[in-house]
Amino acid sequence: MASATTVPLPTELLGISVEVIDSQGAARRAQLFYVSPSQINYLIPATTALGQATVRVTTGAGTTIIGTIQIDPVAPSLYSANARGNGVAAAFYLHVAAGGERMESLLFDPATAAAVLVNLGPEGDQVFLVLFGTGIRGFQIGVTATVGGETVPVLAASPHNEFAGLDQINIGPLPRTLIGRGELTIVLTVDGRTANTVTVLIQ
């Protein structure tokens, strides 16, 4: 197995390459994040046309594997701490005190992936969530979010300024009616399509 260690990402790792042939017949090499005997993580080329695309994987031994994928304007998904797409969000929160002091912290323990309690603080404090995902940046209509069934403003939803393919979604402030409710589900909807649900633990 191998992971990319350079920027821009390589188009070949361990002799493996991925080519995406879009619905218009244009073929482009995909940049690779990671390859192993059972998994390949790659970035869909930004100019890939919408519709059904063919994916051709070529190994170092010359073997070719072909499959198809659907390219849509959005296909929202959120990252989770356990890397399985559920449970606590792979995200952090920003606590802004009434006096202006700011503090950032992860929503999870990086050693165990267990949720960390988020304290909304006294009246006048504000807490925002910074979520990470993919398949979001191409939205046309809008992005909405709820936490524990309550609507939370979406302040930004855009490509991350450092990591390829990563989208960042800033939401908040969290309503104070969430205090004491414990584990709550975060639901993100992009152009009417709902992402996988992740959670946050509110004290």
Domain termination site, one of 28, 55, 71: 71
* Same domain assignment for residues 64 and 152: no
What is the tens place of the pLDDT at every residue in 171-202? Answer: 999 999 999 999 999 999 999 999 999 999 99
Distances (CA, A) of 197 to 11, 28, 85, 186, 188: 31, 32, 8, 6, 7
What average pLDDT score do residues 11-38 get?
Answer: 97
pLDDT(62) > 90: no
173 contacts: CB under 8 Å, gap ≥ 6: 96, 126, 127, 128, 152, 153
CA dihedral 109, 169, 132, 5 (to 10 degrees): -120
* Same domain assignment for residues 81 and 180: yes
Q: State residue 22's pLDDT score.
A: 98
* Same domain assignment for residues 112 and 134: yes
What average pLDDT score do residues 35-40 get?
Answer: 93
* Same domain assignment for residues 26 and 122: no
What average pLDDT score do residues 166-170 get?
Answer: 98
Q: State residue 149's pLDDT score.
A: 98
Q: Confidence band (pLDDT; 50, 70, 90) for 60?
A: confident
Q: State residue 107's pLDDT score.
A: 98
* Same domain assignment for residues 124 and 98: yes
* Same domain assignment for residues 183 and 118: yes
What average pLDDT score do residues 125-131 get?
Answer: 98
* Same domain assignment for residues 116 and 181: yes
pTM, whole model, 2 decimals? 0.92
Single out the residue of 1, 86, 91, 87 nearest to residue 41, CA to CA.
Answer: 1
173: domain range?
77-202
Domain termination site, one of 38, 71, 104: 71
Termini Cα distance of the chain = 40
* Same domain assignment for residues 94 and 44: no
* Same domain assignment for residues 157 and 91: yes
The total domain count for the chain is: 2
* Same domain assignment for residues 176 and 136: yes
What average pLDDT score do residues 62-82 get?
Answer: 96
* Same domain assignment for residues 57 and 144: no
**CATH number of the structural domain spanning residue 195:** 2.60.40
Q: Confidence band (pLDDT; 50, 70, 90) for 4?
A: very high
pLDDT(61) > 90: no
Domain termination site, one of 50, 71, 92: 71
* Same domain assignment for residues 154 and 121: yes
Q: State residue 42's pLDDT score.
A: 97
Q: Confidence band (pLDDT; 50, 70, 90) for 88?
A: very high
What average pLDDT score do residues 156-181 get?
Answer: 96
